[in-house]
Each structure stands twice: as C-alpha cells, then as structure tokens.
A and B are shown apart, each in its own frame.
Chain A
Amino acid sequence: MLEALLVMALGAVVLGAALGYAAVRFRVEGDPLVEKIDAILPQTQCGQCGFPGCKPYAQAIAKGEAEINQCPPGGEEGIHKLADLLGREVKPLSAEHGIEKPKSIALIDEQTCIGCTLCIQACPVDAIVGAAKQMHTVIAKQCTGCELCLPPCPVDCISMEPIPESVESWKWRYPVVRIVPADKAAA
C-alpha cells in the first residue's frame, strides 16, 4: 500500500516537473499573435486543418499561410473569433477540411480491445491508459474528441460517443420570440 502510494506520489512529482519544464521549453518566444490565435483554437489537436496540431496551424495563420476556416472543431464561432482578432473576412467552414460535429469523446469497447497500444501512440493528449496486452480505457475528461485513435485500432473497438446533456451542463435556450397570428392577436 505504502509503496503504491509512494510510486504514485513520485509519478505525480515527476510528471508535474516535466509539465512545468514543457511549459517553459515549448513556449513560442515572443509571438503574442500566435499565442492569441492558439487561445482561440479548440486544442483538439486533430490535424483536420492540415497541420500537425493547433499550434502549428496558429503559426501558419499568423504568417498568413493558412485560411482561418480550416478548423472543424472550432466551427463557425471559432472562425468568427479569428476573423475578429485578425481583421480578416468571415468565411464559411471549408468543407474540404471537415464538418462541425457535436463534441464527442472516444469510448473503447473493453470486451473487444486486444491491448495492442496502437491507440495510445495515436492519442495526441495521452488520454488513453493501458499497457501492452491489457485492456485500454479513455480518460473522458482528457479526451478532446480528435478521432485520431479510430483508424489505428485493428479490431475497430473504438467509437465516438456524443457527450450527453446533463442537468449541470444544460444551457438556457435563446429566448424565443413568439409570433402571434393576426386573427388571434385581435381576439
């Protein structure tokens, strides 16, 4: 028990240090525009924009080498925000890069999973846990819904499940303006 705790604690410390180091090591020096664009991008890291991740796409936009309508997970709202930030014109989402879908997360059918670790290698945010020949599981909170783990799976046991609405996540709807037919309004 104690050993396990110590191992976990050590792991936490090491990972924490590594994350801290990563934050410093991978900081893009002195380009606040890239940072601003990157802050708008959804960080799904899916690569649908044609770049290997959100940050590279942000860099390409900043350099004027990419359009602002290539990120399907960011959707229309993302395009509007980028257009506002950069003073560019709003364009509809480029169909060639994909379509906007409801946010989903990956679900591994644990009965079918053969523990091949291919999905673990594909996941850009290390949201899948499992070891060789052991069943894998997606950590729902960390999954960005990028779908990159789907193609490598040799037994097709990963599916994307839309996140259901709950009492906590429910949003008030936009107030509907009632239109009353003229005859009824008069009555």
Chain B
Amino acid sequence: MNALQRLFRFNGGVKPDYHKEPSTHLPIAVAPTPTLLVIPLHQSIGGPPRPLVKAGDGVLKGQRIGDADGNVSSAVHASTSGTVVAVEMRLMPHTSGLSAMCVVIEPDGRDEWVERNPFDFRAATPTATRDYLRDAGVVGLGGAVFPSHLKLNAGKQGKLDTLVLNGAECEPFITCDDVLMRERADRLLKGAAIMREMLAASRVLIGIEDNKPEAIAALEAASAGNIDTTIQVVAVPTRYPAGGAKQLIRVLTGIEVPHGERSTDYGVQCFNVGTAFAIYEAIALGQPLISRIVTVAGNVGQARNYEVLFGTSMRDLVALCAPLPDTDRVIMGGPMMGFRMPSDDVPVVKATNCVLVGSQKLFPQPPPEMPCIRCGECAKACPADLQPFEMYWFSRARIFGKAQEYHLFDCIECGCCAYVCPSRIPLVDYYRFAKSEIWAREVEKDAADLARDRYEFRLLREEREKQEKAAKLAAKTAAGREKAAAALAEAEKPARTPDEEAKHALIAAALERAKAQKEQVHPENTGNLTAEQRAEIVAIEARRAEIREQAKPHLRQDD
C-alpha cells in the first residue's frame, strides 16, 4: 500500500538528534496512583470549566468534576476515586509560574469507576455525539489540547476527503505515540474508524515518520485483518517538523491550507493518533479522558513511557525513572517546542506528552546571542515558508504591526530557525513575546471598543432624559406661559415659567436675608482702637461717601 501513496514535501525543516531509542526498550507501564492528585480545571483551549465538586465531596473514577464552559471548552474528570480535599489555586504546568483553579483529590485506593456505558454514535445525531465527546473531555493529545468535538465536524460539504492521523512524532525524545501505535494498534484503528464515520471521510491516512518501523508494522498488521480498507498507513520521511499538522497534510495530500482557512474546507482534517485512541475509549467503552501516555526521558537512568493519571505530580513520575543527580530542570514537551516548568511539582495534564528531564550537561546554556547577519539560514529552514529574520527584527524592535505583516501568526514555533541560526539568536522567544503582546493589545482594543459604545450610549441616555424632562416641563407650563405671554407687553421677552418664578422668589429672599445679616454684623476689628486709627477711619469713610455721591447718577442710569 505504501508504494501506491505519492508523497509531497514541505520546505525547510531540520534533522536534530532524535534520542528516541532509550524510552522504547520497555513496554508502557502504568504509573502508580499518587497520594494526592492535583487536577487543573482548565486543561484545554477555550473557556475554563466550572467546578462541579467542593471540598469534602466523594468522587468516583471518571466522574465529571469540571463542566465545559460553553461549546468551546472541554470537561475534566476525576482520575481515580477518593475525596475532594480542596478546590483551590495551585501551581500550573506553565512557564509563567502562575497558579490556577485545581481540584485536589485524595485517592481512596479503590479505583472505583462511575457507571460506564458505550455511546451508540450511529443512533445519535452528530451534535449529540460532539456534546458527548465534549463532556468526556476528549481533546487533541498532540500537545495543542484543542477540543476534539469541535474538529469532528465535516464542514461545509458535510463530508471529508481525507482524515489524517498524525503519528509522525517528529520531536526529539518523545515516543508516546510510537509506543501507543506499537501496543494498541487495534484499538487505535477502531477509533480511526469511528472518526471516519463521523466525518464521512473517504479515506484515512496515518502518517508515521519512517524511523518508527515497529509502529508502522504494528499498524499494518492490525489493519490487514481489518475489513475497513480505507485506512492506509503511510511512512513519511523523517525530518523535523513532519508532525506539524500543516506539514503532514502537505506531505500526505499535497494540499496547502492558506492562512486563516480551515483545513476542512479543503477536505482534510488532522488528528493525533493518541486522540483517536481517546475517542475509541470514550465512544466504545464509555470512558472519559482521565489519563494519557507520557514519555519520561532525558537525564534519567531509565527512560520509559507511562500511562499516567492526570493530576499526578511530575516529581512522582520522574522519580520512577531514576533521575541523575545533576538534574536541574523539567521540561514539558520536547527540546524544540517544550516549555520549562517552574518546578517539578506540577501536575501532568492532557497536554503533557513528555516530561523531559534536563541538566546543564544535557542542555548547555547556549552562548550569548550575536547580531543577526542576515544570512538567510533561518528562512531556508522555516517549514512555514516565513522570513524569520524579518519577524525577529520587528519583534525585537516591538514594531508588532510589521511583524504581523510578515505573518508572525503563521509561525508554529517549531524552533527550526533558532536551531540553524549561526548567531544563536533565541528567535522563538522573540516570536512568543511578540505574539503575546499582540494578543494582549487585541484584548485591550476589544475592551476599549466596548467602553466607547457604552460611553456613547450613556451620553445618548442622558440627552434623552434631558429632552424628556424639558418636554414634560413644557407641557405642564404651557397654559401658564400663554397667560403670561398675553399679560406681558413685550412679546419678545420670554416668559418666566412658574418654576423660574419660584426660583427668582427664592433668590430674592436669600438676597434679602443676606443683606439683613450683613447689616446686623458689625466689624470685629474696630474695638480698642487708638485715636490715630479712629481718625484714619473717619477720613476713609468720608472719602467713600464722596465716591458714592459721585457714582450715584451712573447707578441710576443702570437701574
């Protein structure tokens, strides 16, 4: 079958050392249930789920503890049975070192499941099936954790040409998909068949880098006994990042999905092989997503893949693999695209495909960055056909608009450019910086637009209230005004409304009072005066009287 498949290629890419072998010697092991599970509520792209439990509640394995917040979100579940000891902020497996809401569960050791029922997706509407998968917490397990139910939608045409399953696993050190394909090929294919039906896809292509012959053989063997001949296993050349969704789609189908468009509109949709397995478990067994296969590799005595319950501390997991004494960091993901963790005491989540243990020796500090010499190596290596040095320049100078013009958001942060850069510039760090700044500005702009609308609405409301008041007043006094107008000789002089009359009376009264008060008050500083001072005062008073006399005619005129 392989020979029939015509392959295409993507531009750029690199060939880093793969380091995959050490973790594939031993079969997948089940990591022991820890003494405490810290399960973050927000484990997928989209809205953070709302907690459904509180401290003191008993939970069963697979019980939903966080409800999807709207459709772009995904539920979370208890990974084992036990007692909720807290719903609180805990350190996240995130570079920021910030905390977020987690459900902390103390396992009771019984590992007792909730009732599990297979879901008959053939009898259900597509929407009901998608809702079911959302509530089963199924998300993309390649690392992006995009809710799968949103992608299981055939798009405009209602059917799909090709469903691509991504088993390329191009990132160094990571082998979780490899061992999954080797050991669970049959169930993975059942998942693929379910997805093919849901998407009405004419064919399924499983793309695997040709450095995984065991996985390819296992899947081919499993599909040989399968009646479903639309599923094809395709070996693709080993070149990082062949496992990028766009790159794999391009290699397998030759289709290039333009920026900002959905691959479904081109008849293709791409899922990770681990996701296909999770869909099989959710639909065929009624099991929500509560664990995944995680590679532990790097600076450890025995690298291996484990089936790990979500919420297990990375520290507990790493301890199973005999970390070497000079270990100084834990990275989630691989060396190219992974994220350094703020501590090793952070939970394994749905996005954790690999816990990479590092040391100064294994990953030495790169030498300091040098100025860009515009050699163009980065552009040659970029699999997304971008111009990394231009994006770098504008990101560094904080000219974000320009960086965006060079398609910053098409960058998949694969790290190829930084890998080949002779000036050792941490290019991806600059792109991540620029992207998050641009996102923050987007959020600010939306807030400003909202404030502008609300402010203008308030102005409108105030204006309207003023007019209404004026109209009411006018109606009330219309009669009175007519009378007044008739009575007044000068028609031009606007009549005073009773309100204004009242005001005038009030003002007059107030003036009257003030005058009376003034007369009563005697200046205080005129007692105990010397003879000289008194004489001076008399002289001043006389002068004032004179001025008053002189001013009188003018005052009268004014009157």
Contact = CB atoms under 8 A, between A and B. Distances in A.
B98 A125 contact: no
A49 to B, nearest CB: 14
A119 to B, nearest CB: 14
A25 B460 contact: yes
A126 interface: yes
B459 A22 contact: yes
Nearest to B94: A167
A42 B440 contact: no
B405 interface: no
A177 B396 CA distance: 11
Contacts of B98: 165-167, 170
Nearest to A42: B448
B374 to A, nearest CB: 19
A42 B444 CA distance: 8
B451 A22 contact: no
Query: Of B437, B449, B452, B460, which is in contact with the most chain A CB atoms at under 10 Å from its CB?
Result: B452
Contact of A170 (B436, B444, B452, B457): B436
A144 to B, nearest CB: 5
Interface string A54-73: 11000000000000000000
B458 A180 contact: no
Interface residue SS majority, chain A = loop
Contact of A165 (B96, B369, B432, B452): B96
A180 B96 CA distance: 25
Interface string B423-446: 000100110110111011001100
B444 A19 contact: no
B42 A167 contact: yes
Contacts of B458: 124-126
Contacts of A144: 447, 451
Query: Of A43, A126, A144, which is in contact with the most chain B CB atoms at under 10 Å from its CB?
Result: A43
Given A22-B457, A167-B94, A180-B368, A43 B432 contact: no
Interface in A46-99: 53-55
Contacts of B443: 169
B470 to A, nearest CB: 18
Contact of A167 (B100, B433, B459): B100
Interface string A153-165: 0000000000001
A124 B458 CA distance: 7
B433 A174 contact: yes
Contact of B454 (A21, A25, A54, A127): A127
Given A170-B436, A171-B440, A43 B429 contact: no
Contact of B456 (A26, A44, A141, A180): A26
Given A43-B448, A179-B368, A171 B454 contact: no
Q: Interface range on chain B: under 10, 10 to 19, 20 to 34, or 35 or more?
A: 35 or more
B457 A172 contact: no
Interface in A1-53: 15, 18-19, 21-23, 25-26, 38, 41-45, 53
B455 A45 contact: yes
Interface residues of A, number: 39
A27 to B, nearest CB: 9
B456 A22 contact: yes
B433 A126 contact: no
A38 B456 CA distance: 13
B486 interface: no
A178 interface: yes
A21 B451 contact: no
Contacts of B48: 168
Nearest to B436: A171
B472 interface: no
B460 A125 contact: no
Nearest to B368: A178
A142 interface: yes
A169 B94 CA distance: 12
A166 B435 CA distance: 17
B452 A22 contact: no
A125 B459 CA distance: 9
Contacts of B95: 172
Contacts of B100: 166-167
B444 A125 contact: no
B461 A18 contact: yes
B545 interface: no
A53 B369 CA distance: 46
B450 interface: yes
Contact of A43 (B369, B455, B457, B459): B455
B369 A177 contact: yes
B432 A26 contact: no
A45 B451 contact: yes
A43 B458 CA distance: 13
B460 A26 contact: yes
B432 A172 contact: yes
Contacts of B439: 171
A144 B443 CA distance: 13
Contact of A26 (B99, B451, B459): B459
Given A18-B457, A22-B457, A126-B457, A175 B96 contact: no
Nearest to B453: A19
A126 B454 contact: yes
A38 B433 contact: no
Interface in B446-492: 447-461
Interface in B386-435: 426, 429-430, 432-433, 435
A101 interface: no
B92 interface: yes
A166 B42 CA distance: 12
A48 to B, nearest CB: 15
A173 interface: yes
Contact of B453 (A23, A25, A165): A23
A127 B368 CA distance: 49
A180 B365 CA distance: 11
B98 to A, nearest CB: 5
6 contacts: A18-B460, A26-B460, A124-B455, A167-B100, A168-B48, A172-B429
Interface of A: 15, 18-19, 21-23, 25-26, 38, 41-45, 53-55, 124-127, 141-142, 144, 165-175, 177-180
What are the 5 tightest A-B residue pairs by CB atom distance, in nearest-first order? A43-B451, A43-B448, A125-B454, A170-B96, A22-B460
Interface of B: 42, 48, 92, 94-96, 98-100, 365, 368-369, 426, 429-430, 432-433, 435-437, 439-440, 443-444, 447-461
